[in-house]
Homo-oligomer: A and B are copies of this chain.
Amino acid sequence: MLKGFSVPLTPQGKSALATLPPWHYSSDCIAIEYWTDPEAIAALLPPGLSLEQKSEGRAFFWFLDWQFTGSNDELTDPARYQYREAFALVEAVFEGTPVNYCPFIFVDNDAAIARGWAQGFPKKLASVHQTRSFSAPSPAAAPLTKGSRFGASVSAHGERLATARIQLEEKVRDPSSVFNRPTVMRRYFPQLAANQRAKPPVDELTMSLTDDLAIVDVWAASAELRIPEVQGEDMHMIAPRRVGRGYRLGMAYSVTNLRILRNYVG
A137, B214: Cβ atoms closer than 8 Å: yes
A124, B136: Cβ atoms closer than 8 Å: no
Q: Within 8 Å of chain B (Cβ to Cβ): is A53?
A: no
Neighbour of A140 across the interface among B67, B139, B188, CB < 8 A:
B67
Interface of chain A, helix or strand or loop or mixed?
A: mixed
A257 to B195, alpha carbons, bound, how many Å? 9
Chain A interface, number of residues (Cβ within 8 angstroms): 108
Centre residue among A43, A44, A157 by max chain B CB count within 10 A: A157
Q: Within 8 Å of chain B (Cβ to Cβ): is A245?
A: no
Q: What is the 8 Å Cβ interface bit string for chain A, positions 90-123, against chain B (1 contact, 0 not)?
A: 0000000000000111000110010001110011
Contact residues in B for A131 (Cβ distance below 8 Å): 67, 75-76, 78, 82
Give min CB distance, A231 to chain B, whole Å: 7
**Chain B residue at minimum C-beta to C-beta distance from A161:** B158
Q: Within 8 Å of chain B (Cβ to Cβ): is A222?
A: no
A150 to B76, alpha carbons, bound, how many Å? 5
B202, A140: Cβ atoms closer than 8 Å: no
Neighbour of A190 across the interface among B118, B125, B233, CB < 8 A:
B118
- Assembly stoichiometry (copies): 4
Contact residues in B for A24 (Cβ distance below 8 Å): 138-140
Q: With A25-B138, A138-B24, A232-B77 in contact, is A10–B215 under 8 Å at CB?
A: no
B149, A76: Cβ atoms closer than 8 Å: yes
Q: What is the 8 Å Cβ interface bit string for chain A, positions 162-185, against chain B (1 contact, 0 not)?
A: 000100000000000000000000
Neighbour of A14 across the interface among B8, B10, B18, B234, CB < 8 A:
B234
Contact residues in B for A136 (Cβ distance below 8 Å): 26-27, 214-217, 250-252
Neighbour of A141 across the interface among B26, B234, B255, CB < 8 A:
B26
Neighbour of A132 across the interface among B82, B103, B149, B165, CB < 8 A:
B82
Apart from the given pairs A11-B237, A67-B131, A79-B157, 16 other A-B contacts in the complex at a CB distance below 8 Å: A12-B237, A26-B137, A26-B141, A28-B135, A67-B142, A75-B139, A76-B131, A76-B165, A117-B189, A136-B216, A137-B214, A154-B158, A158-B158, A160-B160, A189-B202, A193-B259
Q: Which chain A residues have a beta carbon within 8 Å of chain B's beta carbons?
A: 2, 5-15, 17-18, 21, 24-28, 43-44, 46, 65, 67-69, 73, 75-80, 82, 103-105, 109-110, 113, 117-119, 122-125, 127, 129-132, 134-142, 149-160, 165, 186, 188-194, 201-202, 212, 214-217, 230-235, 237, 250-260
